């Protein structure tokens, strides 16, 4: 309307004599056109924004609106707000270094009013399990020094990376909140995969069966599902037992195609029950279900599924004699779903963290392909802005973390440190290997008593190095198991 009717544009412009816009770097093309129409009768316009924090290009924000502002309006006065009251100097230094690599920016250099502070730490871990163990130990150290849980944040580029963090904090009994997303094991796609595993253990688990009865789509709506449930109740059987025992009645209720699809599922579950090892089950399950979730258009869901399969494979390798029951029992203890009460560590994506600040910040997953994600030059500039936002959330202490490998998309990926670390001036400068910060592995020795959540108290019979951790042979009252050291806790002797 404002574009086509100049009289209305003039009227609106005269009505609003002074126009002010906040977060201008996040405006889209349409909003910019409206703004220009509102200023056809005057130039009383003030916008505030930070082009280096434009991180919403994926939802329509156009950083060019703020970059080209001086050319779009007459007699523009640009005032740079470079004094920073939040962060210490070392934090701002690496943030300035990183963002200076972007070519599409107005240009500024943050200066700390607070002065010098603790150097930014760069922590290298062997894998995601070691990373989670470091986070838990280091947070315990902060708490012992008097820090409050609410002053601590863990940031990640991909929500899927929260899985390892959650398990590490759960094992250490450190309260945390996932902000802006669901806890990993409460996400719909992960619940579905867990339902498949539970059904392999127990075909009579109707709760799990009904959770995946139409996932993937099998043409079974609520009405057909209810009819099947009622039939099962009338026969005094579970749904799967009813499908097997009363094929004629089930065929009439469900129809030929849905019944055939469910019987195919039952056949697969029975086949997986005979697989033996947990690793074999996961391999066959992954092949069968690979198309089930491939239709999700959300990148995070694909990443979550890949992370889950990676977790399963990792567990199978670390616990070679394990069965599905062991995995599910361990998971039930490692991922409580109780609502967190009181202060807690904040865990969130970098997008969610924008506008927030914390005394202690950990940024994890700083590996090429994870952060930055591999994209074109324009997207790479936005990835740098994401890094800039992440770094500048920290007030006192910033810790940057990367892992040498991660389980991803069903296999272990060997990774290179993010080149953002080099661009920010961190690599080759302040590298702290995990063993320099925490020496948890040295606590273990032959004859030591340890506690495992599933098997209880046992005694270490032998120790073998495996990366940054140890493979322990433990005797649990006559039952011998080989378990990676991060899965057990030393007991005071």
CATH of the domain at 249: 1.10.486.10
Query: What integer is the mean pLDDT of 15-40?
Result: 93
From 302, 299, 277, 310, select the one nearest 129 (Cα to Cα). 310
Q: State the Cα–Cα distance between residues 485 and 466, nearest whole angstrom.
A: 9
Give a yes or no: residue 92 inside a domain: no
Confidence of residue 390 (pLDDT cuts 50, 70, 90): very high
pLDDT tens by residue, 433-466: 555 454 444 567 888 888 887 788 899 988 876 5
Q: Are residue 290 and residue 196 in the same domain, yes or no? A: yes
Beta strands in 40-108 (DSSP E): 45-47, 83-84
- Phi first, then psi: what are they for 417, rounded to 5°? -60, 145
Is this structure's pTM higher than 0.75?
no
Per-residue pLDDT at 401: 95
Per-residue pLDDT at 387: 95
Confidence of residue 393 (pLDDT cuts 50, 70, 90): very high
Integer-rounded Cα Rg, in Å, for the chain is: 27
pLDDT tens by residue, 287-310: 776 545 544 445 567 777 877 887
Q: Are residue 124 and residue 175 in the same domain, yes or no? A: yes
Task: Please name the residue that has the structure tokens 């007699």.
Answer: 75
Q: Are residue 464 and residue 407 in the same domain, yes or no? A: no
Confidence of residue 286 (pLDDT cuts 50, 70, 90): confident
Stronger pLDDT, 310 or 246, i.e. the higher one? 246
Per-residue pLDDT at 57: 83
DSSP-assigned letter for residue 423: H
Q: State the Cα–Cα distance between residues 472 and 466, nearest whole angstrom.
A: 10
CATH code, 474 = 2.30.30.390
Give a yes or no: residue 460 inside a domain: yes
Per-residue pLDDT at 410: 61
Measured torsion, CA atoms of residues 229, 233, 235, 238, in degrees rounded to the nearest 10: 70
Give a yes or no: residue 131 inside a domain: yes
pLDDT tens by residue, 165-190: 988 898 888 999 988 777 777 778 88
Give a yes or no: residue 392 inside a domain: yes
Per DSSP, helices labelled H in 46-88 are 64-67, 69-72
Give a yes or no: residue 1 inside a domain: no
- Phi first, then psi: what are they for 405, rounded to 5°? -155, 155
* Tokens read off for 145: 């020094």
For the beta carbon of residue 334, count every other beta carbon within 10 angstroms: 16
* Tokens read off for 236: 């005094």
In Å, what is the CA distance from 1 to each residue of 5, 17, 30, 282, 482?
A: 6, 19, 12, 58, 72
Enclosing domain of residue 484: 441-490
Give a yes or no: residue 320 inside a domain: no
Q: Are residue 430 and residue 475 in the same domain, yes or no? A: no
- Candidate from 5-19, 178-192, 217-231 with smallest mean pLDDT: 178-192
Per-residue pLDDT at 60: 84
Chain-centre distance for alpha carbon 39: 43
Q: State the Cα–Cα distance between residues 314 and 304, nearest whole angstrom.
A: 15
Q: Which of 278, 296, 314 is the last residue of a domain?
A: 296
Q: Are residue 450 and residue 428 in the same domain, yes or no? A: no
- Helices and strands: H and E segment counts in the chain: 20, 18
Per-residue pLDDT at 399: 96
Count of domains forming the chain: 4
Q: Are strands 456-466 and 469-476 parallel, antiparallel or unpaired?
A: antiparallel
Q: State the Cα–Cα distance between residues 255 and 247, nearest whole angstrom.
A: 11
Confidence of residue 337 (pLDDT cuts 50, 70, 90): low
């Amino acid at each position: 309307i404002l574009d086509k009717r100049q009289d209305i544009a003039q009227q609106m412009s005269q009505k609003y004599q002074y126009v002010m816009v906040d977060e201008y770097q996040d405006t889209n093309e349409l909003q910019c056109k409206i703004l220009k129409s509102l200023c056809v009768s005057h130039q009383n316009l003030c916008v505030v924004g930070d082009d280096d924090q434009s991180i919403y290009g994926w939802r329509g924000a156009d950083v060019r609106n703020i970059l080209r502002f001086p050319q779009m309006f007459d007699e523009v006065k640009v005032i740079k707000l470079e004094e920073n009251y939040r962060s210490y100097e070392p934090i701002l230094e690496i943030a300035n270094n990183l963002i200076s690599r972007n070519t599409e920016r107005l240009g500024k250099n943050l200066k700390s009013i607070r002065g010098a502070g603790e150097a930014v730490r760069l922590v290298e871990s062997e894998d995601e399990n070691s990373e989670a163990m470091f986070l838990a130990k280091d947070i315990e150290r902060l708490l012992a020094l008097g820090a409050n849980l609410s002053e601590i944040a863990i940031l990640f580029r991909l929500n899927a990376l929260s899985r390892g963090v959650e398990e590490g904090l759960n094992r250490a009994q450190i309260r945390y909140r996932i902000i802006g997303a669901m806890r990993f094991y409460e996400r719909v796609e992960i619940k579905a995969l867990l339902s498949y595993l539970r059904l392999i253990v127990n075909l009579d688990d109707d709760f799990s069966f009904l959770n995946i009865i139409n996932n993937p789509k099998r043409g079974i709506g609520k009405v057909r599902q209810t009819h099947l449930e009622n039939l099962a109740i009338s026969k005094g059987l579970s749904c799967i037992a009813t499908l097997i025992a009363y094929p004629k009645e089930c065929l009439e209720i469900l129809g030929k195609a849905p019944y055939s699809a469910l019987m195919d599922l039952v056949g697969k579950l029975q086949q997986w029950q005979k697989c033996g090892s947990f690793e074999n089950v996961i391999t066959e399950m992954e092949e069968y279900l690979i198309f089930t979730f491939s239709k999700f258009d959300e990148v995070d869901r694909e990443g979550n599924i890949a992370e889950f399969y990676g977790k399963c494979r990792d567990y199978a390798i670390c616990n070679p004699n394990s069965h599905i029951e062991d995995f599910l029992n361990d998971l039930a203890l490692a991922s409580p779903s109780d609502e967190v009460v009181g202060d807690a560590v904040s865990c969130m994506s970098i997008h969610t963290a924008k506008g927030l600040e914390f005394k202690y910040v950990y940024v994890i997953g700083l590996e090429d392909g994870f952060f930055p994600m591999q994209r074109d030059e324009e997207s790479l500039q936005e990835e740098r802005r994401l890094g800039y936002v992440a770094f500048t959330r920290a007030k006192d202490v910033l810790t940057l973390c990367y892992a040498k490998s991660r389980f991803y998309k069903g296999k272990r990926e060997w990774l290179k440190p993010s080149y953002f670390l080099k661009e920010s001036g961190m690599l080759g400068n302040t590298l702290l290997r995990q063993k320099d910060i925490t020496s948890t592995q040295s606590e273990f020795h032959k004859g030591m008593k340890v506690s495992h959540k599933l098997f209880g108290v046992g005694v270490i019979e032998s120790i073998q190095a495996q990366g940054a951790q140890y493979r322990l042979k433990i005797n649990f009252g006559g039952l011998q198991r080989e378990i990676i050291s991060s899965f057990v806790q030393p007991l005071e002797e």
